[in-house]
Chains A and B, each alone.
Chain A
């Protein structure tokens, strides 16, 4: 039975919108014919009008069902109501089989065409997504190579040292290696986050009710492990709500935004996390007191184009785009949105999460 269902779904999808179009087109064709019938004695226009109606229906609905139904109904309608002999079904009159065939052919042909175009559009969107994924992969692999080279090099230098390096020099090399390794860990977490949103379609994530302050505190704790020097303040609404989310992913978003604030903020020393409930959404903000985002970058922050064009900023070109496009992917998969703005004395990134599960 499954194959039958899939065929029905593919070729005869039903929807309220399509029904509406179908009914509207047929009704207006009938009305037009009814009016013209009073005005003229000729009825040559009738088949024309109905062919037009069939065309409209087939063109603006999905699948074959409505187009063919419109064709069938038109044939009956034309035959029965609007042509001689009136109010009588008679297919023996000369020319009717031809009209009948024409109607059906138009319905079928246009439906086929529409379905094919729609399928192609879907394919295009898919290949677009595939392309984006490939771009991201390329950018990431490229970005991973640099720190790996540095790590390997630093450690080799320390290992092969025959006593010429001072203790400080060795420490410095090892510290660099550690920082690069930590950075790699974070990037890999980001990649894992993306694979958690499987299939690429929306709503594939496992959501559970989570309390916002718990996610905040875990994100802040993890961030502090790496950057003790930054002053972080957090505020949450007094009211406790369980928000549907994948906590691990939202934590990733918060971590990325905080990382960004620090690495790209040019002199960030303070980060503020806050949240409020507004119009069915939780609005979550990450604010810093750094130099803000360059105005020409603002529109391109989240589309993943930064790391490709190497516009990530002169101070630190690494991977701003990846972190942010991961944020966007995650937030959008939750049914929220992400935006950025410059404040006097800093930048603010803000994302929303629906309070109720949208599915």
Chain B
């Protein structure tokens, strides 16, 4: 008997919960379900799932509180399910410690990709195994050489500035995961860098012009409008 990853789905809408369960079960995960916040808490402590899929709108408590409480004692990955129009909720959830989010209506492929990335990141810690072994991150033609502090496209050095390199390097370490503007700013410019994210946005526009063939159709770094940036998953 194989041991499978156990995923807790916290969702009060029965149909959505059933759908998520069906998608995950069909792809080799064990699924347990909770429909309220308090139920979720007791299941998290008794079952120790490998990952939690959490809907923010629960009847008995605010999803944000669940995230902060769970984060206070475990780094178990949390994926938030949210409606499209509420990007502020997404940002808040991510900044409170959620690992990623999917937007309703989501496709099975999207959900599975997020789950896969979140599980992998908690296993290998920040920076996937490949980076630790070779000092390089690759995705298609893009290579980030962490030893030489260079970003290459098809072997060509892109000549990023120092800040630009730092941004790409950070995204590469968390490849596949969305990083909020605030998170990136704090990592790069320290905790005082609150609020204005224009420097980051302009830096990113310059990066796109250096590494993407067409800045309006990026292949490597994707924008989640109003939330942050996501590097494509590595090879």
Interface residues, chain A, CB within 8 Å of chain B?
Answer: 182, 185, 189, 192-193, 196, 208-211, 213-218, 220-221, 225, 234-236, 238, 240, 242, 247-248, 251, 273
Contact = CB atoms under 8 A, between A and B. Distances in A.
7 contacts: A193-B85, A217-B218, A235-B214, A235-B216, A247-B225, A248-B84, A251-B225
A287 B18 CA distance: 41
A225 B217 CA distance: 14
B233 to A, nearest CB: 15
B223 A214 contact: yes
Interface residues of B, number: 23
A248 B85 contact: yes
B107 to A, nearest CB: 7
A234 B223 CA distance: 16
Contacts of A240: 202, 205-206
A208 B227 CA distance: 12
A343 B217 CA distance: 25
Contacts of B224: 218
Interface of B: 84-85, 87, 105, 107, 198, 201-202, 204-206, 208-209, 214-218, 222-226
The 7 closest A-B pairs by CB, nearest first: A234-B216, A214-B223, A240-B205, A247-B225, A213-B216, A236-B216, A216-B216
Nearest to A219: B225
Contacts of A220: 216-217
B77 to A, nearest CB: 24
B225 A196 contact: no
B198 A213 contact: no
A43 to B, nearest CB: 69
Contacts of A217: 216-218, 222-223
A248 B205 contact: no
A234 B217 contact: yes
A247 B91 CA distance: 15
Nearest to A246: B226
A215 to B, nearest CB: 6
A236 B105 CA distance: 29
A248 B87 contact: yes
A247 B201 contact: no
B216 A273 contact: yes
Given A215-B225, A217-B216, 13 more contacts: A189-B85, A209-B198, A211-B204, A220-B216, A234-B217, A235-B214, A236-B215, A240-B202, A240-B205, A242-B198, A242-B202, A248-B87, A248-B225
